Amino acid sequence: MFDIEKFISGLSVDKALDRLGEKFLKSLEDETAETFLEALLAFMRIKFMLDPAYRKNIEGFRGRYQFRSRDGGVAVLVKFEDGDMKIREKASDDVNVIVSFKDGRALMNFLLSANRDILKGLLNNEVVVTGNLNYMYKFGFMANHLQLELTGNLP
């Protein structure tokens, strides 16, 4: 994963969010969407730290997510606890839900409403979710919200 602190060091709160938001949006336009997951998680984490309204999503919430690429190249553990989000490059089965994905594009299509093409994802066996789907639904809301906010499409 890339170094968030380095990426935003020396920036004001608003500027840091802007830069991470830009990086996240850019990842969505990327043909291969290789950096999608790390851009999403980085932006999400900083958003939780800096935006009290968004942080409300994880107040009192405990959840552990494992994201894995099919080729084993990516294994990211995401933990929500004590109103905080922690990201570790680690494989773990002690989680609420495991998301195995073929590539960044497939994961992006699975998670984001604007690019939602789950049928294709299923047809091509691109994303497989194991465990408590309800945790994915919550994560999906938080990811979608970021995209909608950045693109000015929040209702």
- 88 interacts with other proteins by CB under 8 A: no
Among positions 61, 75, 79, 92, the unique one binding other proteins when judged by CB under 8 A: 61
- 155 interacts with other proteins by CB under 8 A: yes
| Closest C-alpha among 87, 94, 93, 92 to residue 139 | 87
- State both tokens at 139: 């994560």
- 65 interacts with other proteins by CB under 8 A: no
- 128 interacts with other proteins by CB under 8 A: yes
Tell me if 70 sits within 8 A of 102, measured CB to CB.
yes
Tell me if 48 sits within 8 A of 55, measured CB to CB.
yes
Alpha carbon distances (Å) from 12 to 19, 84, 111, 119: 10, 21, 29, 41
Q: For other proteins, how many residues bind (rule: CB under 8 A)?
A: 32
CB of 56 to other proteins, least distance (A): 6
Tell me if 95 sits within 8 A of 135, measured CB to CB.
no
- 1 interacts with other proteins by CB under 8 A: no
Contacts to other proteins by CB under 8 A: 56-57, 60-61, 63, 96, 111, 113, 116, 118-119, 122-123, 125, 128-135, 137-138, 140-141, 143-145, 148, 154-155
